[in-house]
Structures are given as C-alpha cells and as structure tokens.
Structure 1
C-alpha cells in the first residue's frame, strides 16, 4: 500500500512537471502571435489566439494531469458584458475567464510586466496592470481604464482579493472593482470555484480531479454602496466555495 501511494505521488509529480514545462512553452508560442503589429493581428485574431491557448491548456491538463473542469450556472452569464468578480486561488481560473468572457480586460498584477512576452500580451489584450500597495493612484487607474473598456463593450475581469489565497481562505476585498461597478452602474457577476484545491497557489502539483466553476446571479449595483457590493459578492462566493468543497 505504501509503495503504491509513493508510486501514485511520483506519477502526479512527473505529470505536473511535464505540464508546467509545456504550459510555459504555450505561453511563449501563443504569446508571440499577440506581439505582432495590429495590421497583421486584429482584435478578432487576437482572441482566436487566446482561445487556442486556452484550449491547448485544457487539453494538456486533462490528458497529462487528469485535471478537467465543469461549469454550473452558465445561465447566469448575461448577454451583455459586465464586471466579473473572480475567486483568486489558482492559475486555472485564468483559463476559465479567458474562455468565457471575450473580449475582456483583465486586472493583473504589475509584476507581470517585467516578463517581456507577458507584457506584450497584457498590452495587446488591454489588461489593466496594477501595482499592489500603491493605493488611490492604482484604484483610479482601474476606474479610468475600466470605464473606457466598458464603453468599448469589453468585460472587466478582476480578483477583488488582490492576490491568490490558499483554497478555503479569503481576504478583505479591494475597493477598485466595487467603485468601478458603482461609477458605471454595471452589474457584478460573482464566480466561485475550487480550483485552488487541485492546483494551488504557488504549487507545482496538479491533483487529478474535476474543478467546478460556479457562476452566480448577477448583482445589480445601482443604489448599493461600495461596501455593500463587496459584501454581497464575497458572501456569495465564499458560501458557494464551501458548498463545492
């Protein structure tokens, strides 16, 4: 029994290492297309490239790590773009967001800008890089750019916790997303998931299994305070994660 358990753990480690290597290759390969100038790669082709990147990683996760996903609450995704509040506990959540919300502007940590190919992708996809701990200036950036991108018909995807947390944990929500929602009178779409259990924060290991993403009913923000928007979204997301296990 002990040897069998060790063999199983070793297999998971090897498959996780193999996938991680291929994941970085996929970032370089597909990211290179996003660096091409606009006349060559227009908006439509950019998102087709993103979709191909996501499909490749879904395929590799499933066939190398035996890790796949399902989505509940698809009927809650509105036809018109809005602001998505996404639980922040796994890299896998990025695949989900890029797959279901197109075109979108992702609020990302500024440190990613130091990686040339990711910096190019962030600019090409009109993401909003923010410096954590810089306070009001970065909040204003999210509101200004987010408002402009909403006017262009883009989804805004952000993780109000600000940084990835371990599965089962949470932290106080930042105010930029709620301020953006209140200022634009856009609804908030809460998304919970248990991806952090299978592919955790700063973890090489990808456990076999099925991740569940749960899309909640949209939150109409008109008439709500910033704190109320955050409280309603966080309460739904955390309770749903408890239900998912």
Structure 2
C-alpha cells in the first residue's frame, strides 16, 4: 500500500468530495424537515437513500466497487445483532444499504457533525458516551433490547474504533451480550474496505471491496463467551482470507 501512486487517486478523491459535500448538505436539510414526520421504518428508508448515491458516485469517481458474499445469511422477518470489523468510513455508507432497517451503535460525538450528524440522530442510533464505560454498557443493553424488541436489527463494531488494515485490536463482547440478553442471533460480517478507503484518509484507491456475511450464530442455551468465540473466530479467519488482516 505504501508504494501506491497517490496523484491520480487524490484527484479522483477530490472529485468525489466536490459533489459529495453539497449533496449531503442539501439532502440533510430535506431529511431534517421531512424525517420527523415519518414513522421509523419509512424515515430510515428515506434518510438512508442518499447512500445509494454515495456508493454509486464512489464507484464512478474513484473506481471503488463492492462484492458481497453471504447476503442470504441475513435473517428475514426477525431482529438480529450484526457485529462487523471497523476500518473505513465506507462502512457508514454501505452497511445501511445491506441491513435495512437498522440502528447503529456509535460514539455520541458523531451526532454533533453539522447536517450529517443532525440527520443521523433521526435514525434512533444508540449513541454512547465512551468516557463512561459502565454507563455505556448499560445503555447499550437497555436501548439495544428495546430496538431489537421493535424488530430492528442492531449494528455494532466490537473493535470500538477504526483500525488500520492489518490490525485486529480487541473485540468487545457487547454485541454478544446484547444478543444473548435479547434472545436474537449474532450475524458476523467482515470487509476489507480499509485497503481502498483507509480510515480518516482523504485518498481512495480503485478496487473491489469484499464483504462477507457469516451464518447467524444461535444464542439459545449458550453463554456470551461461547457466542463471542464462534462469531469472532469466523471473523478472524475471513479477515485473513480477504486481506483485512
């Protein structure tokens, strides 16, 4: 990755943002007006529709494509907890298109971002204050069970923060704890988007992001540690295979 030429990707990335920012501002204003008038599922559908533009424009301007394996493993007609690796801003855009509807567990500061964060707040995220570790876990379990009982899948990034390609970090058990408490399956998911859109990087590189969705991990009659082990072992193996580790 270090030997890549950055001149052309930088130009193409600049083109991406040249259109992305004004479209985001205009659409966010529209969402802030219309969103509060809609029930959650309709609101999610409307507010996240802009992500189709983001992913299409990313492909056109920067040459970043997507390939998904295991889409059929996403449970239908029931809530579940998705745990995914965390290494690129790309996740924010695409995973809302893969799991619909959903609520995401995120850090509270994101809701303060002008326009984008204000609109994101309308999607019932579980916004944690990570400086309050015990309080954050309690909030995750209480609000997570509430969302799951409403039939809404919950997306969690157990690494907690975006990590560069090649780094695994620590996989927190919050997602497995939530699934066991609510009695819903865990769906592990991995991707290698950090190769093409490194975290906090302006430059995006052409290529195909690989996404793999694992089979649901059943929680019935099982401990949190057992569920966590099955889900994370699958994630580790798949991340190695697609070059995310």
After TM superposition, the score normalised by the length of structure 2 is 0.90
Q: Per the alignment, do residues 148 and 63 of structure 1 end up closer, same or farther by CA in structure 2, a change over 3 Å counting? A: same
Partner of 1:127: 125
| 1:103-132 CA-partner distances (Å, limit 9, x unpaired) | 211111111122242342233100111122
Matched with 1:179 is 177
8 A Cα contact 2:45 2:101, kept in partner: no
3-state DSSP of counterpart to 2:204:
coil
Change in Cα spacing, 1:224 to 1:23, as seen in structure 2 (3 Å) is farther
Map of 1:218 onto structure 2: 216
* RMSD, aligned α-carbons: 2.0
**How far off its partner does 1:39 sit?**
6.2
Unmatched runs of 5 consecutive residues or more in structure 1? none
- Runs of 4+ residues deviating >3 angstroms: 37-45
Verify the 8 A CA contact 1:34 1:41 in the aligned structure 2. no
Q: Tell me, in whole angstroms, the C-alpha distance in 2 between the residues paired with 1:40 and 1:49.
A: 11
Tell me the equivalent position of 1:12: 9
3-state SS of 1:192 partner: strand
Give the whole-Å Cα distance in 2 for the aligned partners of 1:119 and 1:11. 30
Secondary structure of 1:57's counterpart equals: helix
2:61 aligned with 1:64, yes or no?
yes
Distance 1:219 1:199 in 2: 29
Aligned to 2:27: 30
Q: What SS does the corresponding residue of 1:27 show, helix, strand or coil?
A: helix
Distance (Å, rounded) in 1 between the aligned partners of 2:65 and 2:8: 17
Gaps of 5+ in 2: none
Q: Residue 240 of structure 1 aligns with which residue? A: 238
Report matched runs for 1:82-231 at 5 Å: 82-231=80-229
In 2: Cα distance, 1:69 partner to 1:177 partner? 25
Contact 1:33 1:49 in 2 (8 A): no
Q: 1:239 to 1:34 in 2, by over 3 A?
A: same
Question: For the residues of structure 1 that align with 2:150 and 2:51, how far apart are their CA atoms?
Answer: 23
SS in 1 for 2:53: helix
TM-score normalised by structure 1 residue count: 0.90
Moved more, 199-208 or 172-181: 172-181
Cα deviation code 1:126-173 (max 9, x no counterpart): 011112242110111111111111111101011011101111211112
Distance in 1 (alpha carbons) for counterparts of 2:236 and 2:105? 21
Shift of residue 45 of structure 1? 4.1
